[in-house]
Amino acid sequence: MHVFSTFEHSSFLELAISDLEQKGITRDRILAVPMSRLGEERQLFDTIHRADGDSLLDGAAMLGTVFMLLGVMWGFLWKYGPILGGLTGFALGALIGFAVDYLTSKKVREKDKVKNLTTEVILIINCQQEEVKTVEGVLWEHLATSIGRVKRSLE
């Protein structure tokens, strides 16, 4: 009898495995398969120059900083002073930077949508009929995103 489950990467996953081992499921009855995402290797080359994963913030932070500095300087000539000048500059720059990044990275993000799955690790437990309840309990308790087994073999 095999119990299948899916997990996201977290310390709960390791706690779940450790709990199962405590309850007598030996290591040769546990199979963990981390799932790599479609095209990750290829992406390294596509995006070697912008691959910190968050290009949406690059432009916002950079333009925000530059405009904030300009806002502070021009704020000295403005009746509302450098503080409001700086804050206005920061908001304006961050907004423009974000908008530019958002529009230019639209294609990349649409490609990412397909890859945005919650399954990161598949965990398969080979156990006896009478252990199924315990195993499933442990898996649910440790935030498995889904659990399943072949119903036919119950009969």
Partner 1 sequence: MNPSCHKEPRYPKGHTSALSINLVHLRNPWVIAFWSAIFPGFGHISLGSYIHGFLLILWELLINIKANLNYAILYSFTGRYDNAIKVVDNNWLLLYAPVYLWAIWSSYRQTVDLNKLSILADRSRSPVSPVIISTLEICFFDKRTPWLTLCWSLLMPGIGHLYTHRLPTGFLVLAWWIGICYFSHLPQAIQFTAIGEFNNAITVVDPQWLMFLPSIYGFSVYDSYVNTVEYNRLYDKEQSRYLEDKFQEDTFEMPV
Interface positions with partner 1 (CB under 8 A)? 2, 9-11, 13-14, 17, 27-34, 36, 44, 47-55, 57-58, 61-62, 64-66, 68-70, 72-77, 79-84, 86, 89-90, 120-121, 124, 126, 150
Nearest partner of 2 among 100, 94, 116, 125, judged by Cα: 125
State the greatest distance between any 2 C-alpha atoms of the chain, in Å, as a whole number: 84
| 83-98 residues labelled b (16+ CB within 10 A) or e (exposed) | eebbebbbebbbeebb
Query: What gap in Å lies between CA 37 and CA 8, rounded to an integer?
Result: 13
Minimum distance of partner 1 from residue 68's CB (angstroms): 4
Backbone angles phi, psi at 6, to 5 degrees: -120, 145
Quick one: 44 or 99, whose CB is closer to partner 1? 44
Quick one: 86 or 139, whose CB is closer to partner 1? 86
Minimum distance of partner 1 from residue 74's CB (angstroms): 7
Minimum distance of partner 1 from residue 62's CB (angstroms): 5
